[in-house]
Amino acid sequence: MADARLVVTGYDEKANLETVEIVHEALILNWGQLREWMYQGREFRYWQEHLRVAMLTWKNSNYDEGALLRGKPLRDAEDWQSKRNIQLGEQERSFIGLSVELREREHNNQKRRRRFTIFALSAGLLTVFSLTSWQWRIAEFERKIVQIKNLSNSSKEHLFSNQDFEALIEAIKAGKLQQELVDKTAFDTRIQVVTLLEQTIYQLQEGNRLKKNSGWIIQVQLSPDNKKIASVSKDKTVKLWSREGKLLNTLKSDNYEINSISFSPDGKTIASGSHDGTVTLWDISTSRKIRTFKEHTSNILGVSFSPDGKKIASADRNGSIQLWSIDGTLTRTLRQNNSPVESISFSPDGQLIASANADKTIRLWKLNGTLLATLRGHSDIVNSANFSPNGHIITSASDDNTVKLWRLDGILLKTLQGHNDGVTSVSFSPDGKLLASGSKDSTIIFWNLDLNNLLIRGCDWVRDYLKNSPNQEVQIQDLCKNVPPE
């Protein structure tokens, strides 16, 4: 355009910016595309000019913090920065960043002043009430102090053992007791309880917990719409729950214990595998059986729908993995060894199968029976293995009381501890941000996960590794091609 003399390029030394100017007014009047661009960017440019005026005022005040952005102007700046960060200059981004830092400092100072005021008022109230000398009040006070200390110590022990949910429960109990105390001698204890509560809240990993099953939780699975949970326990039933813990429905087996379940992709059907070697399809809305088929010679421990809903995989105690069409036709039998297969699941693209095994391993298979990888790290039987919705992560549950997260190449990413007995089942929510685990301790725990950060850290490690060893396992790069660096 400059060569054609439609625009003139220049440099604004005062603003330290390169500029482009329209040569002739006729271009502004008759160039439709330019008018459209100007209309689209008018609101942003109007705000940007005000931002530059604010920056100039700040510089002229010798960079006084009082001239930084506050309130709505700062919120507007953060909004525009999130939308058009690339169109802001380095000085503009720095100005907004300094304003955000100032707001955070002032917010923290305000919190400290508020806490100091509350503590001061509490100390004053405690001093007034400490003048009383009723014997019964002293005895009650001492009893509650002992309870608070015991609860606080219990909470700290749970935190040390990575049992964050239990730690929060104990800390809340201590906090409620602390609220009832008004004697000034409880002031130090109050601070300890407040600190403990903050620590457990920030460290908490669990999202919720259900405890209404009779007996072991053999398996738990989240529905595709993320609104229901299905659980299997030793009472020969499949129970359907709401996310809030309300029992919605119960599917009852005739004679045999149900060992495994799987939701169909549309969430309307559940496949179950039972102790007599039978695979059964259930209609969730009516609780009735749709179809039953059997080829296994021993009890089925795992069953899974394929992502397209056209295939079902089942696995038994003899180490046999079978693939079925939805009409009950057996299409393939995979043999691994004589070790029982505790559970089985399809990858999101339907091309891989993960099996959880009694020999403490997780194995990855192609549908034609080719073994791709063996994941080792549990110290006891692996009861369940499932893929994350993006297919990059595998989660496993074991009798060693833990839940683990793995990369497909076998690298262990994270270990979750919170159950008091063997973990029998684990399942991702459809968005990959929630993990549900069921245990022999008769509880279901929901874990909040940030898979993006796990993937970023894991893929950064892979990239660094491949820089130093370019000829080693280059195919691993395919796992990280859509994962940005940290």
Nearest to 346 by CA among 397, 293, 391: 391
CB atoms within 10 A of CB 60: 10
Same domain, residue pair 183 and 107 = no
Give residue 448's pLDDT. Answer: 65
Same domain, residue pair 251 and 286 = yes
In-domain check, residue 394: yes
Chain segment 366-376, per-residue pLDDT in tens: 888 888 889 99
CB atoms within 10 A of CB 294: 15
Same domain, residue pair 105 and 165 = no
Same domain, residue pair 442 and 391 = yes
In-domain check, residue 209: no
Q: What is the DSSP string of 451-472?
A: HHHHHHHHHHHHHHHHHH-TTS
Backbone φ and ψ of 137, nearest 5°: -70, -40
Same domain, residue pair 35 and 50 = yes
Q: What letter would DSSP give residue 38?
A: H
Q: Measured between alpha carbons, how far is 308 from 357 in angstroms, rounded to an integer?
A: 25
In-domain check, residue 218: yes
Residue 373: exposure state from Cβ atoms within 10 A (0-12, 13-18, ≥19): middle
Contact predicate 200/218, CB 8 Å = no
CA angle 437, 443, 446 (to 5 degrees): 40
User: What letter represents residue 258's amino acid?
Assistant: I
Backbone φ and ψ of 142, nearest 5°: -65, -35
Same domain, residue pair 48 and 4 = no
Give residue 473's pLDDT. Answer: 47
CB atoms within 10 A of CB 459: 22
Same domain, residue pair 366 and 261 = yes
Same domain, residue pair 234 and 287 = yes
Same domain, residue pair 357 and 443 = yes
Q: Which two tokens stand for residue 354?
A: 């993960």
Chain segment 259-310, per-residue pLDDT in tens: 888 899 998 899 988 888 888 898 888 888 888 888 777 788 888 999 999 9
Residue with the two structure tokens 């891989």: 352
Q: Which two tokens stand for residue 348?
A: 């999101």
Domain boundary (186, 204, 222) is at 204
Which residues contact residue 470 at a Cβ distance below 8 angstroms, ignoring those fewer than 6 apart? none
Same domain, residue pair 297 and 363 = yes
Q: Measured between alpha carbons, how far is 369 from 399 in angstroms, rounded to an integer?
A: 27
Give residue 400's pLDDT. Answer: 94
Where in the sequence is the domain holding 479, given as residue range(s)? 456-486
Same domain, residue pair 75 and 170 = no
Same domain, residue pair 50 and 108 = yes
Looking at residue 227, which CATH number applies to its domain? 2.130.10.10
Contact predicate 365/353, CB 8 Å = yes
Contact predicate 206/418, CB 8 Å = yes
Describe the strand order of the beta sheet including 361-366 as a list of residue ranges.
Answer: 341-346, 352-357, 361-366, 371-376
**Coil, helix or strand for 25?**
helix
Give residue 294's pLDDT. Answer: 81
Domain boundary (129, 156, 174) is at 129
Number of domains comprising the chain: 5
Describe the strand order of the beta sheet including 393-398 as a list of residue ranges.
Answer: 382-387, 393-398, 402-407, 412-417
Query: Mind listing the pLDDT tens digit of every residue in the chain (486 residues)?
Result: 888 888 899 988 876 778 888 887 777 778 788 777 776 778 888 888 888 888 998 888 888 888 899 888 998 989 888 888 888 888 888 999 999 998 888 888 888 887 777 776 666 555 555 554 455 666 666 677 777 777 777 777 766 666 655 666 666 666 666 666 654 445 455 555 555 554 555 454 444 555 555 556 677 777 888 788 888 877 778 888 887 678 888 888 776 788 888 899 998 899 988 888 888 898 888 888 888 888 777 788 888 999 999 999 988 888 888 888 888 888 888 766 678 888 889 999 999 999 999 999 999 988 888 888 899 999 999 999 999 888 888 999 999 999 998 888 888 877 888 888 999 888 888 777 778 888 888 787 877 665 455 445 555 555 665 666 555 444 444 555 555 565
The radius of gyration computed from the CA coordinates of the chain, to the nearest angstrom, equals: 31
